Amino acid sequence: MNIGFLWTSTVSLLLLVVSQSCKSDPDPTELNSLTLTFDNRVGDKTLALATGTYQNTLGEDFTVTTFNYFISNISLKKSDGTTFTYPQDSSYFLVRETFPASKQIVLKRIPAGNYTAVTFTIGVDSLRNTMDISRRKGVLDPGDASHEGDGMYWSWNSGYIFLKLEGTSSKVTPDPAGNQKFRYHIGGYGGYNAKTFNNLRTVTLPLGAIAAKVGPNRQPAVTITTDIAKVFDGPQKISLAATPTVMFSEYSTTVATNYASMFRVSDVKE
């Protein structure tokens, strides 16, 4: 018998067994997930683009025609005080009212445990804003046709728009075409070559008295209500008549401070 052939065959068989053994050893977190569903509303009313009519606390009526925002850098706090940070490269999401699927974020491969709070950033952090374009994929790709029409990137300013809120109000002075539009395009991460305002905001939301339990047979769903009314009626009151357009200006920090208060957990289901 050819000893060399026997040795080679034995080694090959052992490698095959090891390979199959590795393949059959599943990732223990493979079935663990937690879903964040964003329910966009105005006060106690469901958001209805272009058709719903709402009123802020200053008595100004308005409709909403566009509502988009970035959610990023998600982390989850356990009942034992430890924190699981979702992998950053996979932690950028663009919530768009016109695209229902975008309002449901499924976080996969979550370590098993009882979770009591969720933290996330509204916007896109400075590191990712300035990263080579080759490392900005999916919703961060300014040229991605799937969200090109939403225009969530300032090519002239090389930065992402963190929140875009547009609509109409009878209190806004008509433009030359007779339109009474308001536009809030809020971005700004602190500046690249020179310091500017920073409109990144981080939000931590408790999930309630009962922890969200994650495991192979436990895949909780957390509903987060996003209240557009808080954009106008947050820590500072914003008048549509006085300020119908806010983009890359110092006043945008007022809007950012307000929209940081528009999120709350409204439901947790096992």
Lowest mean pLDDT among 29-43, 184-198, 208-222: 184-198
> For position 225, what pLDDT does the model report?
98
Instruction: Report whether pLDDT(11) > 90.
Output: no
Average pLDDT of the residues in 73-89: 96
- Say how far apart CA 26 and CA 12 lie, in whole Å: 23
Q: How confident is the model at residue 110 (pLDDT cuts 50, 70, 90)?
A: very high
Q: How confident is the model at residue 109 (pLDDT cuts 50, 70, 90)?
A: very high
Strand partners of residue 46: 41
Name the one residue in this structure whose structure tokens are 């080759």. 134
- Which of helix, strand or coil describes residue 133? helix
Instruction: Report whether pLDDT(193) > 80.
Output: no
Q: How confident is the model at residue 264 (pLDDT cuts 50, 70, 90)?
A: very high
Strand partners of residue 237: 233
Query: Is-contact 72 91, C-beta < 8 A?
Result: yes
Nearest to 221 by CA among 31, 29, 36: 36
CA atoms within 13 A on the CB side of 39: 15
Query: Is-contact 114 207, C-beta < 8 A?
Result: no
Q: How confident is the model at residue 155 (pLDDT cuts 50, 70, 90)?
A: confident
Instruction: Report whether pLDDT(80) > 60.
Output: yes
- Say how far apart CA 246 and CA 183 lie, in whole Å: 6
Say what the pTM is. 0.87
Q: How confident is the model at residue 142 (pLDDT cuts 50, 70, 90)?
A: confident
> Of residues 27 and 44, which shows the higher confidence score?
44
Percent of the chain with pLDDT over 70: 87
Average pLDDT of the residues in 171-200: 91
